[in-house]
Amino acid sequence: MPKRIIPLSEVTVRTSKPQAKEYKIFDGGGLFLLVTPTGGKLWRLKYRFEGKEKMIAMGSYPEISLMEARRRRDEARKLLANGVNPGAVRKAQKQADTEEKETFEVIAREWHSKFFHTWTEGYAGKILRALERDVFPWIGKRPISEIKAPEVLTVLRRVEGRALETAHRLRGVIGQILRYGVQTARLERDPSMDLRGALPQPVERHFSAITDPKEVAHLLQSLDGYQGHFVVRCALRLAPLVFTRPGELRHAEWSEIDLDEATWNIPAEKMKLRRPHLVPLSKQAVEILRELQPLTGSGKYVFPSARTNDRPMSNNAVLAALRRMGYDKENMSGHGFRAMARTILDEVLHVSPYVIEAQLAHKVPDALGRSYNRTQHLDERRKMMQRWADYLDSIKAGAVIFPFNNVKG
């Protein structure tokens, strides 16, 4: 068995004495204190990235306390969980302290580090990977004060040929970085403002979804019969019952779920509109979660990755499962469960649109003009979620299914 690491205490760090040779005292998660023969106490973090072992300096004690060293370790591991090398981020942050090295990449990484905690971990990682892939190789080494609109447009044109919507999103990210440069006195104005209208507008697309009750019944039977990984099977069965966004589902944590109260409280930082959201759980949803709890309940995530419990399930897991069951991108997507619920709850079950939109966590005021809050229409939503789950059970079992236009309230 591997040797168990006992976390450090402030007393242990303070009283550690130098020896003839340097030695390490480990705290956990790759963090350790390196004690040198001259009495230096240096924080180091050991980690693996792309299959290679790496190490970064985290400061020295007592300037950096044990608590602060752990905070820096946790930030680095969040970056790792999203495929970002913390060593590269730290290197760029150090460069940012030197005025003559104020390149676009340095300022971009500084901006990313500043706003990292205001985003979901997945979104933060997605932004940085896009910059590393599509922007830094071309203008990353350019002084940010010298970047002009044509240079930015050339970067976007390379992406446009591959994915027009991605090019539009990237223009927004580059603009935010350049405006951050203006706000921190690195350049005078944002040149990306001159690119309005330079890219063609993408054709509006909607997520594919199955909304015909007969086809929904067949889909539900397919989900129940899925023969893949048990965790993915549970996610597939739960998705139509809660109809949250795919990212919200796969990032669900056991600490957010109260099975006795039949509620799932999603914190604001995980929501698209950055507002906490309450999901009432039907009896069927609670049953699925109780079935899964013995397997994953001792960890953080309800649906952990097949490779490690430290990360949630891949964002392609549910989509890939749907494809293996024969549902291609033209007829069903991970987001499609939301459109399915919205359509049938409205047109078949005749639920109030305000209640449906509240459960979808959309930014729509109610009849009195009040903005959404997490408990809005809660009693109605509880009834709706149970009625919805019962309806899905009934059509899955072969109950008579009425066409939309023939159903009466």
Instruction: Please give the positions annotated as active site.
Output: 245, 272, 335, 338, 362, 372
Closest CA to 177 of 102, 99, 83, 274: 102
Helical H runs in 243-335?
246-250, 283-296, 317-324
Report whether 389 contacts 272 (CB < 8 A).
no
Residue type at 362? Answer: H
Residue type at 127 in one-letter notation: I
Phi, psi of 264 (to 5 degrees): -130, 110
Contacts 24+ apart (CB under 8 A), 252-259: 252/301, 252/302, 252/303, 252/312, 253/300, 253/301, 253/302, 254/293, 254/296, 254/297, 254/299, 254/300, 254/301, 254/302, 255/300, 257/281, 257/289, 257/302, 259/286, 259/289, 259/290, 259/293
Residue with tokens 């409280």: 265
Count each helix (H run) and each strand (E run) in the chain, helices first.
16, 7
What angle in degrees, to the nearest 10, is found between the helix axes of 86-95 and 66-81?
120
Which residues face 56 on adjacent strands? 45
The span from the first CA to the last CA of the chain, in angstroms, equals 63
Taking the C-alpha atoms of residue 351 and residue 358, their distance in angstroms, rounded to an integer, is: 12
Residue from 112, 105, 107 nearest 127 by CA: 112
Helix, strand, coil percentages (3-state) for the chain, rounded to 5, are 50, 10, 40
372 three-class SS: coil
- Give the type of residue at 179: R
By three-state DSSP, how is residue 164 classified? helix
